[in-house]
Structure 1
Amino acid sequence: MPEQIQSIISNLRGFGVRRLAMLAGIAVLVMGVIGIASVYLNRPAYDTLYVGLDRSDVNQIGLVLGEAGIGFDVGADGTSVLVPTGTTAQARMLLAEKGLPTSANAGYELFDNVGAMGLTSFMQQITRVRALEGEIARTIQSISGIKAARVHIVMSERANFRRDEQQPSASVVIRYAGIDAEKSAMSIRHLVAAAVPGLSADKVTVLDSNGNLLAAGDDPSNTSAARTLGVEQTVEAQIGDNIRRALTPYLGPDNFRASVKADVNTDTRQTEETIFDPESRVERSVQSVRANENSNQKQASTPASVEQNLPETQATSTEGPQTSSANDRKEEITNYEINSKKIATVSNGYSVTKMSIAVVVNQDRLKTILGKDATPDQIAKRVAEIQKMVSSATGFDDKRGDVIDVSAVEFIDGLDGEAVPQAGMLDSIGQHAGTLINAGAFIVVVFLVAFFGLRPMAAALTAKATPAIAGPNFDEVQRSLPTPEAAASADAGAAIGALPGTRAGATPLDDLRQKIRPAPQERLARMVDINEERTAQILRKWAAQEVAA
């Protein structure tokens, strides 16, 4: 056995049972920490493969991935599957080949499992509706904030003896988090209506998972009140933006605030107008009528007497009054063609009936522009100039009854118009939290190993094995042992009150060395371990010297 190993073994024996137990405990602790840290740090990063799965889908996916040798993990909720980073595409291709996941929202892959033999038209129609429902539900779930969705569609059926055609309808149930449910419901209604032939948006009902009605019936955004409100908000935002563009280069973005209230008329107006141009007449046709009439009328009179009643007697008539007339008529009709213009105007837009504008300006900014010695008159003059600028930028019309007010006031600190702070160090650290945690854990493990393992061990070895560092041989150990005479002197010194193992005239440094040196029994044990025969010779020599003395 080499002397270095023997020296180390001897030093370990000199530690004692208590110190050896402590070193063993520290070694076990360090190895355990290193093992746990290595297992934790060597764990690969996982990416989400699928979420919102059924229990059966999770089990089947686990079996397929396990057979393919792809590591996976199941989320804490039991409905999501995670795979190591870099294997997501491979895992999805493998699962798609196996037809997984087969959740309730199955789409057109339903036709993959339907045989053509013995399939009736009714079964085909039902499968088509189920596939359409599944595809729409998948699309809805892809919207940000939508956790789950279920779609039910009632298609229209044609019947020979039905007078009124049945309109298709649909209902959607969603589970969401962190979104504006009403706005999303409007979008979902139009999405479903566009995906189903003949389905209108007002026939789609949207509910949430708590049973609350989100949208049904007519679209409220198409009502007159909602349309007017939307137009007013758009006009107010546009006018406010014009004010900001006009005042920002002069005052700065944080030194003024503008508020606009616009009254808008969105009534639909239809106007029909016909305009004739009398100066552009053209002779189209002329009709002339001429009539010349002459008439003579002569009337005879018969006398009234007895002679008229006699038979076979003819009464003699006498001449009566005579009349004559002449009529000459001439008529001419001229038709003219006059240019005319018909105008039909349908106004479906809007008109601003009144505007109310209020602008407040930071008084400190005006003082900075005018100087610290600015007078109130100078500030008022500058406010009037700003009011003219705002009037020009907003299309102010006094005849319409518009109102504008510009005031200079002192702004308080902490306005909402202050610059938005950029992402700080904490945000950047949060993006790399996983990597930093792994690196920090590794550093902590190294520190624990160095502090609780290497440092106590080095201190113990240094304090206990310093005399053995040089690797003493047998002769050095022999010389370090006291001779019988030295032992007798030591016993005499102890009898007179001297310290054990000290010599007369020894310095404090010698005493310290004497204390640090191993006991004679330990040195004798080392000699026996190194060379038993020579040790026996020395002991016999000592015994002979003691007998001779």
Structure 2
Amino acid sequence: MVKVDLRNLPVQLIKRFQTFSASQKAAVLLGCVGLLAAIFYLNGLLTQFNFGPLFTGLNEEDAGAIVQKLEGMKVPYQLSNGGSTISVPKSEVYKIRANLAASGALPGSGAGFELFDKTKLGITDFEQQVNYQRALQEELRRTIAQVDGVQNARVHLVIPQKSVFVEEQQKPSASIALKLKPLGRLSPEQVQGIVSLVCGAVEGIRPEYVHVIDMAGNVLSDEIAGGGTSHAVVIKGQQDLQRAYERELERRVSGVLTKIFGPDKAVAVVSADFDFSRQETVTTIAYGEPAVLSEHTITEQNSSGGATGVPGTGSNLVPTYPSGTTAGQGSSKQEVTRNYQVGQREEKVIQVPGRLRRLATSVVVDTNLTQANIERIQNVVAGAIGYDSERGDQIQVASIAFEKSHQKKMEAEMAAIEAKAAKEARKQQMWTIARQGAVGLIAVILMFIFIRWLANLKPAAPSIQEVIPMRVGAQPPPVVDERYLHVKETAEKKPDEVADVLRVWLTEEK
């Protein structure tokens, strides 16, 4: 058996390879290629058992269609979570998903206006209308599914046939069912956008004939029906403002209480009462001394004279006795009108919506408190929330032991989930290490077998030798024993070991 020196293995292999014939060299090259192919095939064979999720949260119909496609593609798969999750080899997840998308087998997908790419001859008007309705439903579904917070959607349209009588023409309607993402929620603006999208895509449909619901059965389009969109948006904005203010105060109070009692030892709840009414008050205020703005004077005088005595005929005759006369009398009248003007200013006060009317704060502490400590906490909370006694604010502090059985149960469940995840991670890691170790071990074994085979391969003797004419008297080259060459090479490389062997031989001969 030929000994293999691993330290000089590359040099030995090259020298050995140079001694081979053409057929032996071809066999060696084919053996190398086969060895590499076997290693790669073994690695792929072991890697394909590392599955990754292809789709999750599937219904039975979509899962069945995808499984049928995977079986037709001869792709190994696994079902989990009651058949709602399909896993395939992790290295081919994106490739398989792209192939399914190209074949139209993605979950929830359908044919849109692609239905009209291949028009059949002899199709009736009814079939044409039905295909148009199906295509429009799918196109709307695709668009609505792209809205932020929406995971999937179903659209149902009712498009009545046109009538020759206007009074008998029925109104089209639409029903939309939305599957929201986990913890997802649509704002009224988003719902209004979906309704507007449908109204713009379907001829003759009005917003009040578009109904939007979620998978929990909540009617999302009620708050925008009947033209009440702006009012609903205003109310929603007011509620959001109030809740944001309450959360900010709760965060402040909780931060202070956490510093005092520690985490999860106190709970604070703030209730704010806002006045969202709009009021406008106009006040006129006078100032300064009155001043004469205008003055108007009217003066009247009257003077007159006449006979005296008893009125009548006798008074006009010549008297028979002496008569006396009196001086003439007159009258005067004066009327003065003055207009005064004072300085004045007008104040206009507008009370904008959102005025804080009252605050009510409740604090519950999971420890025993004395009355003095309760008062201290009330003072601390009052400073944190901006307490105003004139506004009627209230602060209540209570000392009540918390019920922690539910919390302990949740912590135990979370610990179990984390332990399970860690176990799965360790299992996956061990499987990866074992897979890589198996591939490496098999590769080493195959390499060792190949090297042994290569080392034991005998060089081929030349089949045809060139005849060289020899001169008279020339001697053929001496034949060198291979054992001699091997001993000589060993003595040159390992002189100490050869000396020890000779010394042992000499000792045995004595």
TM bin, normalised by shorter chain, reads 0.3 to 0.5
Please say which structure displays the higher CA radius of gyration.
Answer: 1
TM-score (norm 2): 0.47
